[in-house]
Structure 1
């Protein structure tokens, strides 16, 4: 009888364990992520670097979808320079049940409504490219930032000019007055990146014992056409006095090049340095129109945006090669690009 009872007990135990396992498996199947909806709002879809970054994000989403079998929807909308429009776009993402929202802020000082909307719905939000104030990012435990190391590109621009002066001083200091006459093309009034890039580029040159003379500056809002328009006027005013043009991004630098090409004054084109390492910018470096640029890693940042959104939705860890600091920030370093190494960076975009 004891043996029969023991057998019956064992059978019952096995049945219970199987049932529990079945329940657990059913629960896992029920909670399995089948689709991820990512809403993205960019400050301006016509910004060349942002457009390239979005292409990288979409490409990484397709690759991740193929690897995991999870459907990944990336919905990108253009705020067209309007913070009010961007606020409305984020509200629609929240109301339509998107899993993660990514925002390239129009106004980096005004993220309050966006953070409040995401927080009220418990939706993670990833800011990118335009860094908000740290105090704002800390307000919400599911708010993150993906971008680059802010001070690096200005320093790199300054270093490239210093290196060229050491190697070929006569090609830069055309009037041989031991002073560099320069024009600064600034991205946007009051914008953190424009201020920092401008300051660090000039300071790096001065700290290397080189005298500079600022002929003038122009705000061209990161835009190629505006860069050309502003340089047309500056060339009229200063002509061959301009020895260096320091541009806060490649697009404005390309606008400056356009101004010289249209005037058929390529023999007088000054040393021009940009920032971003866009394909058009890199091509200008290869062709000798632009001396150098600071490559902003759109490939790495696009991948990090996708991987972070994926991890936030699925609860999985980030890949080991993506490093997050302060549990908030993912940053990529810039790289100096001149004609000597430009092919390496062009190949990234091909």
Structure 2
């Protein structure tokens, strides 16, 4: 067996040729959210009676392209992919189109020119506007001196999250106080995992020290790393941390008063919506919007207990 073949995981019990076969190309499994996407894809595909092939691109654009090419050669009926970057996303969608395989972009964004059924995501704009508004509720007229912890350069979802957080802050400040008072101290890169968030926050603290009073992270896991760095330096009590994703351990952090707010990017909801969309497409529906979103949800100390699910895989 080749190394590529060994990286494929197939779930489902039926072997009939007419059983719907889905290929899921995940950009990485390095991080709880991405693992959650793969595991919930397995659960919802099995519940639907579909056969699923999954791959892990290991954050490598070329490997993801090779993974998709291999799945297409296996005769999949649908392709679901979380692209490593926008360029990879377009290439993957075009590969699937040439093979006459309908495709769905899941979680990470790609250009509107890409030939996909739709893009399934959290509503990054609505979610992060609410997180920004909540930050102003906490800071009032006081200046917000912000560190941005981003995932990786060129990621459209990360860009949408941080931009809408800042718009939420600025709009709320202007609406309530007739002035803006947001200062971005620095942007650092956390590579979408907790260790990366830890290192990024450490770097920001070394460079900017006591100037910082707020952190926005594009993902809860990176925020948890930042919180570790802030606790280690005794600065957490003076710095408020905000994020996005609704990770179970992020919700634990909200309960403890360490993370102030996050918003839902639930892989269970995302993958169920993906399988439901495939069902609709298979039944003949074709008029899908460019984006289909799960329901926006701001999570703070006020509602975290009602949202928290101890049995969640994410």
Question: What range is the shorter-chain TM-score in?
Answer: 0.7 to 0.9
- Deviation, 1:349, is 4.7
- Deviation, 1:185, is 0.9
Is it true that 1:253 corresponds to 2:223 in the alignment? yes
Match of 1:165 among 139, 157, 171: 139
Equivalent residue for 1:297? 266
- Deviation, 1:250, is 0.7
* Cα separation, 1, equivalents of 2:109 and 2:92: 14
SS at match of 1:347: coil
Is it true that 1:78 corresponds to 2:42 in the alignment? no
Is it true that 1:273 corresponds to 2:235 in the alignment? no
Equivalent residue for 1:331? 293
- Residue by residue, what CA displacement relative to the aligned partner does 1:95-118 show, whole Å, maximum 9, x if unpaired? 111111111011213434323332
Which structure has the greater CA radius of gyration?
Answer: 1
Match of 1:231 among 197, 201, 207: 201
Alignment CA distance shift 1:180-1:100 (3 Å): same
8 A contact 2:248–2:310 mirrored in 1: no
- Deviation, 1:310, is 3.5
Alignment CA distance shift 1:349-1:334 (3 Å): farther
* Cα separation, 2, equivalents of 1:55 and 1:266: 36
Gaps of at least 5 residues in structure 2 are: 1-15, 175-179
Equivalent residue for 2:12? none
- Deviation, 1:245, is 0.7
Is it true that 1:241 corresponds to 2:211 in the alignment? yes
- Deviation, 1:258, is 1.1
Equivalent residue for 2:159? 195
* Cα separation, 2, equivalents of 1:298 and 1:317: 24
Runs in 1 of length 4+ with deviation above 6 angstroms? Answer: none
Alignment CA distance shift 1:55-1:203 (3 Å): same
- Residue by residue, what CA displacement relative to the aligned partner does 1:15-67 show, whole Å, maximum 9, x if unpaired? xxxxxxxxxxxxxxxxx9852221111111123222222222222223223xx
Superposition CA RMSD, Å: 2.4
Match of 1:136 among 114, 122, 139: 114
Relative to its length, the structure with more helix (as a share) is 1
Say which is worse superposed, 37-46 or 233-242, in terms of deviation: 233-242
- Residue by residue, what CA displacement relative to the aligned partner does 1:191-230 show, whole Å, maximum 9, x if unpaired? 2222222222223222223412222221212221111112
8 A contact 1:297–1:334 mirrored in 2: no
SS at match of 1:81: coil
8 A contact 2:90–2:111 mirrored in 1: no
Q: How many aligned positions are there?
A: 291
Is it true that 1:61 corresponds to 2:31 in the alignment? no
Gaps of at least 5 residues in structure 1 are: 1-31, 66-71, 170-177, 319-323
Match of 1:115 among 84, 93, 96: 93
SS at match of 1:123: coil
SS at match of 1:334: coil
* Cα separation, 2, equivalents of 1:51 and 1:212: 35
* Cα separation, 2, equivalents of 1:220 and 1:157: 20
Equivalent residue for 1:11? none
8 A contact 1:36–1:310 mirrored in 2: no
* Cα separation, 1, equivalents of 2:62 and 2:248: 31
* Cα separation, 1, equivalents of 2:102 and 2:40: 21
8 A contact 1:38–1:309 mirrored in 2: no
* Cα separation, 1, equivalents of 2:39 and 2:238: 33
8 A contact 2:236–2:258 mirrored in 1: no
